[in-house]
Amino acid sequence: MGIGMIKAVIFDMDGVLIDTEKHYNAAWCEAARMAGFDFRREHALMLRSCDAGIASKMMKDIFGAEFDYFAIREVRRRLVAERLAKYGLEKKPGIDEILAFLHTKGIKAAVATATGSELAHQHLETIGVKDQFDKIVSAVQVQHGKPEPDIYLYACSQIGEQPEDCIAVEDSPNGIKSAYAAGCKPVMVPDLTQPDEEIKPLLYAVADSLADLKGYFSHPRQI
């Protein structure tokens, strides 16, 4: 596939544009343990970018009906805010380079994030890239979050492009499944985990960093 056939790139935010997933992971573990659950890293990884309704059911299936996902999530939100206040908000490497590249090529850029709209805009403003995106959409704007396709279908409609003409940049299995189900071309930039055997068949390419995406528009990497 040549780069001329790609008309837009839609980015996930947490773990792709900003280095926040490590904070979410730690905060989920702490919040759930505070509530009395033997919550481990692998459980937190399951929740990356996940629709709240799906996540709630998944956690109840694992820990029982007493797992109050929404109450624990409120504690997690507070803990993440505290961690970001302490450590700051870090850009992922290569973000400025890839956005400049897309601008030069006339390729649209958008964000499709599980984070709420207001916070997403704040974070992107903080790292100085908000104005470089044609659209910023949040899961709160659609009926179903990731791994359902709604957010990518909505993002494509907002930028006026067909999903098959869009690359979706993700770091999590839930995000990859969402993009694939929408008909986008999922590219994984691994953050906390590498692509597993379930995810590999869904991928258009894998890039080691955002800057490396430039080379994969015309030469997808073997998975």
User: How do residues 4-41 score in pLDDT, each as one tens digit?
Assistant: 489 999 999 999 999 999 999 999 999 999 999 999 99
Q: Are residues 72 and 116 in the same domain?
A: no
- Per-residue pLDDT for 217 more than 80? no
- Predicted local distance difference test score (pLDDT) of residue 100: 96
Please give the share of the chain, as a percent, with pLDDT higher than 70: 95
- Residue 99 CB contacts under 8 Å (≥ 6 apart), including other chains: 109, 129, 132
- Predicted local distance difference test score (pLDDT) of residue 215: 81
- Predicted local distance difference test score (pLDDT) of residue 3: 46
Q: CATH number for the domain including 147?
A: 3.40.50.1000
The pLDDT of 53-78, averaged and rounded, is 98
Q: What is d(CA 144, CA 148) in angstroms, rounded to the nearest whole number?
A: 6
Cis peptide before 93 (omega within 30 of 0): no
Instruction: Look at residue 168 and tell me if it is in a domain.
Output: yes
Indicate the pLDDT class of residue 221, thresholds 50, 70 and 90. very low
- Residue 45 CB contacts under 8 Å (≥ 6 apart), including other chains: 25, 172, 192, 193
Domain residues for the domain of 123 are 3-19+90-216
Q: Are residues 138 and 188 in the same domain?
A: yes
Instruction: Look at residue 222 and tell me if it is in a domain.
Output: no
Q: What is d(CA 30, CA 76) in angstroms, rounded to the nearest whole number?
A: 8
Q: Are residues 121 and 206 in the same domain?
A: yes
Q: Are residues 129 and 196 in the same domain?
A: yes
Q: Are residues 205 and 124 in the same domain?
A: yes
- Predicted local distance difference test score (pLDDT) of residue 1: 41
Instruction: Look at residue 56 and tell me if it is in a domain.
Output: yes
Phi-psi region of 138 (alpha: psi -120 to 50; beta: other; left: phi over 0): beta
Q: What is the mean pLDDT of the chain?
A: 94
Number of domains in the chain: 2
pLDDT in tens, 102-155: 999 999 999 999 999 999 999 999 999 999 999 999 999 999 999 999 999 999
Q: Which residues of 170-181 are buried (b: 16+ CB within 10 A; e: fewer)?
A: bbbbbbbbbbbb
Q: Are residues 150 and 181 in the same domain?
A: yes
Please give the share of the chain, as a percent, with pLDDT higher than 90: 93
Expressed in angstroms, the distance from the first to the final Cα of the chain is: 16
- Predicted local distance difference test score (pLDDT) of residue 2: 43
